[in-house]
Chains A and B, each alone.
Chain A
Amino acid sequence: MSAAAMRVVDTDLFSYVLRLGDLGLVLGQRLGEWVGHAPAIEEDLGMANVALDLIGQARLFLGYAGEIEGRGRDEDAIAFLREQGEYLNPTLAEQPNGDFGQTVVRQVLIDAYQLELYERLISSTDERLAAIAAKAVKETRYHLRYSGGWLVRLGDGTQESRSRVQGALGRLWPYTAELFVEDDVDRAMQDRGVGPRLAEVHKAWSSRIGALLSEATLDRPADRPYSWFGKHGQHSEHLGYLLAEMQYLQRAHPGARW
């Protein structure tokens, strides 16, 4: 038997890291759609900035995942050449942009999630994750300042703006449940001191979001059980279209370098 076949892959860690990377990848892809269409030039720049950070994080996580897997796949092979069921982002990230208000709501919910996650990952027993988190946490603090600022302006702006973001909040809230559901991989990571307890992350996230919604004069929707489970590759219909667009060139020119 070859050495490669003998090698045991840390599949739990691989999945865990992929989840982190795919969140950045898919959300970054969504934000990339806004460039040139934002409400003001300054917001084109603001959203492009967040997109760049998220894609940068995705590159680090996916590159690491490739190393863990040990089959020679680099960040691009992993980003562009998987089947839909192999992407492990939470379904919230793949939801369409909608109007600026919906994009802001989606962003706030995820920024707060990433912030709580990264703050805890800084002390991960996995040095690589800790290092990535240390860099990413600074970016995410700024992301939340940006998206949170907009949530408040839109929630506490005009009747129309409040109505739009309240509506978006209602549509997107059901996707938040999924963020905090633990599975075997999460439990394995906790046991090893690699990742935090999701119940803890949930509590902190909930408190942060609660304060923001209050400042934005928005009503917190009732919790609803999740319908999809992105971390197991069970996605909404939206991901298929997103991936078709993203993967097109790589699929059309197999093996080509860019």
Chain B
Amino acid sequence: MYTQGLDVQASEPTAPVDEGSLERRFLARVDAEEKIEPKDWMPDRYRSTLVRQISQHAHSEIVGMLPEGNWITRAPTLLRKSILIAKVQDEGGHGAYLYSAAETLGVSRDQMIEQLLCGKAKYSSIFNYPTPTWADVGAIGWLVDGAAIMNQIPLCRCSYGPYARAMVRICREESFHQRQGYDLMLQLCRGTPEQKRMAQDALDRWWWPALMMFGPPDAESMHSTDSQRWKIKRFSNDELRQKFVDFTVPQARFLGLTPPDSKLQWNEAAQRHEFGPIDWNEFNQVLKGNGPCNAERLAERRAAHAEGEWVREAAMAHAEKQRHRRASAAA
């Protein structure tokens, strides 16, 4: 249940709690692949880790509506326009599912949004890059959604019930996102020389940021070990990144495009692609707020929120009036 009625007091006084045994029982349940639900006992750090992770994920979906949303009015055909609107609509929906899942852990959507808008909460660095061309819409679908899917499928089996269920719903919708992106790129690559150049240029700009989406190298990742113990995170950053490269390089080849990595090559013995070093300095700068579009993205979200205040207020005022009218009518 996603219910927030979580403050129900037990009817009898409970015996003093032995945290150690509660934690052992909790870990046993997780090990046995049982789902943890909102009202179950959980370690405080499990709860706070999930709130952080789920809300970051939700923020990413909402901010992610902007770089693609800005091409809706310029989409080159009515079908592409429709597809793009549907995709961005899905992303808003994903944000909503995720905020709901996070709310089951005792935080309100408003609190989470406040954290985002004041710059405290993080969201996926990828959405701080600009989308100057139509090909970027394709690159985002192909690469960014592709990377997201790789991260998200394991989360469908995460230990926390509401998050796992939201992820199942999201993954079902996400594969359309990647396919429409790849299809868009395919059309460009089969088109005019200008279109093909546009596609290569987009790949050149999105390749490395997509690889960075999997997070820092395992050795440097702060939150990993607990997350893996609690089955919130099921594969390491490097494992997923490698898998992504191995899937995506042949896809690029089929398009007739070349990833911008001179060190990229197939390792026959290890059966995987070796790839060049990632600029983690860029990643950290973007995460800190110094990416090309961080300021713009947040400014747009703040503006939308501020300009919508009178609307949200009016809706509540009207609901209140209706309540009074019904009460008076009944009296």
Contacts and interface: CB of A to CB of B under 8 A. Distances in A.
Interface of A: 25, 29, 32-33, 35-45, 48-49, 51-52, 55-56, 58-59, 62, 75-76, 79-80, 99-101, 152-154, 156-158, 160-161, 164, 245-246, 248-250, 253, 255-258
A52 B311 contact: no
Contact of B187 (A37, A44, A258): A258
Contact of A39 (B70, B73, B308): B308
Contacts of B82: 52, 55-56, 59
Interface centre among B96, B188, B314 (most CB of A within 10 A): B314
A75 B310 CA distance: 39
Contacts of A250: 76
Contacts of A152: 318
19 contacts: A35-B88, A35-B89, A36-B88, A39-B312, A41-B96, A42-B96, A44-B92, A52-B86, A55-B82, A62-B78, A76-B78, A101-B311, A152-B318, A153-B318, A157-B315, A161-B310, A253-B76, A253-B195, A257-B191
A124 B329 CA distance: 45
Interface centre among A36, A99, A157, A160 (most CB of B within 10 A): A36
B96 A156 contact: no
For B77, B191, B300, the residue with the greatest tally of chain A CB atoms inside 10 Å of its CB is B77
B65 interface: yes
Interface of B: 62, 65-66, 69-70, 72-82, 85-86, 88-89, 92-93, 95-96, 99, 134, 184, 187-188, 191-192, 194-195, 300, 303-304, 307-315, 317-319, 321
Contact of B73 (A29, A43, A44, A160): A29
A157 B318 CA distance: 4
A29 B74 CA distance: 9
B191 A39 contact: no
B92 A249 contact: no
Contact of B65 (A35, A51, A160): A35
A62 to B, nearest CB: 8
A251 to B, nearest CB: 10
Contacts of A158: 310, 313-314, 317
B89 A99 contact: no
Given A32-B85, A249-B134, A256-B195, 16 more contacts: A33-B73, A35-B88, A36-B304, A37-B303, A40-B308, A43-B311, A45-B96, A100-B311, A153-B315, A154-B318, A156-B321, A161-B311, A245-B73, A250-B76, A256-B191, A258-B188
Contacts of B86: 48, 52
Contacts of B318: 152-154, 156-157
A48 B88 contact: yes
A35 to B, nearest CB: 5
A108 B142 CA distance: 38
Nearest to A79: B78
Contact of B89 (A45, A58, A161, A249): A45
Contacts of A49: 89
A29 B71 CA distance: 11
B95 A41 contact: yes
Contacts of B314: 153-154, 157-158, 160-161
B95 to A, nearest CB: 6
A28 B64 CA distance: 22
